[in-house]
Structure 1
Amino acid sequence: MLEKTTRINFLYDFYQALLTEKQRSYMEMYYLEDLSLGEISETYNVSRQAIYDNIRRTEQMLEGYEEKLNLYKKFQERQTLLEKATSLMNSEQYSELKTILDKISDIE
């Protein structure tokens, strides 16, 4: 569950501008503020089921955006390569460092 929550939070960070205000609000309350479905439903005076359905649909939308745009995947690849680059730099392996930096440039 924590892994899913982390992934959804990252996807939300990348794609929130593509969501409606209501979708953003529900996602922020549920994932960022850690409110329950009941608490959110009381705030908006709608059923828990309506909140649940909206959040699930929004999660599917975020996954769909990721399938098409791969912003999170590219972010993860860059992070991995940057960690390797830092390690190589610290151990003064500069030729390998250049290779890693070239790979980072190629991700875009």
Structure 2
Amino acid sequence: MLEKITHLNELFDIYGQLLTTKQKRIFELYYHEDLSLGEIAEEEEISRQAVYDTLKRVAHLLENYERVLQIQKQKKENYELIRKMELAIEKKDFNGIKGLLEILKENMR
């Protein structure tokens, strides 16, 4: 469950600006401020079911944005390349560094 929440929060950080104001607000109240469905429903003057449906819709939208744009995936791959470069630098493996830089450049295109 914690992995799912972390994953959704990472996607929200990347794609949150693509959501409506209301979708962002409900997501933030639930995942960032830890309010219950009932508390959000009361605050937003909507039903608990509407809150639940919005959270499901937002999760689906965020997953779809990632499936199409793959920004999070690319970011993780680039961090892994950087980690490998740091190890290669420690070992003074200049050929390895050069190869990793080429892969990183290719990923940036």
What TM bracket, shorter-length normalisation?
over 0.9
Deviates more, 1:31-40 or 1:94-103: 31-40
Query: What per-residue deviation string (whole Å, max 9, x for no partner) do you get for residues 63-102 of structure 1?
Result: 1111111111101111111111111112211210111121
The residue identity in structure 2 corresponding to 1:53 is D
Q: How does 1:92-103 map to 2 (within 5 A)?
A: 92-103=92-103
* 5+ residue gaps, structure 1: none
The residue identity in structure 1 corresponding to 2:81 is L
Q: How does 1:1-108 map to 2 (within 5 A)?
A: 1-108=1-108
RMSD: 1.1
The CA distance in 2 between the partners of 1:7 and 1:47, in whole Å, is: 26
The CA distance in 1 between the partners of 2:93 and 2:34, in whole Å, is: 44
The CA distance in 1 between the partners of 2:2 and 2:105, in whole Å, is: 31
The CA distance in 2 between the partners of 1:51 and 1:68, in whole Å, is: 26
Runs of 4+ in structure 1 deviating by more than 6 angstroms, as ranges, are none
Deviates more, 1:40-49 or 1:14-23: 40-49
Q: Percent identity at matched positions?
A: 41
* 5+ residue gaps, structure 2: none
- Partner SS, residue 38 of structure 1: helix
The CA distance in 2 between the partners of 1:36 and 1:94, in whole Å, is: 53
Deviates more, 1:38-47 or 1:60-69: 38-47
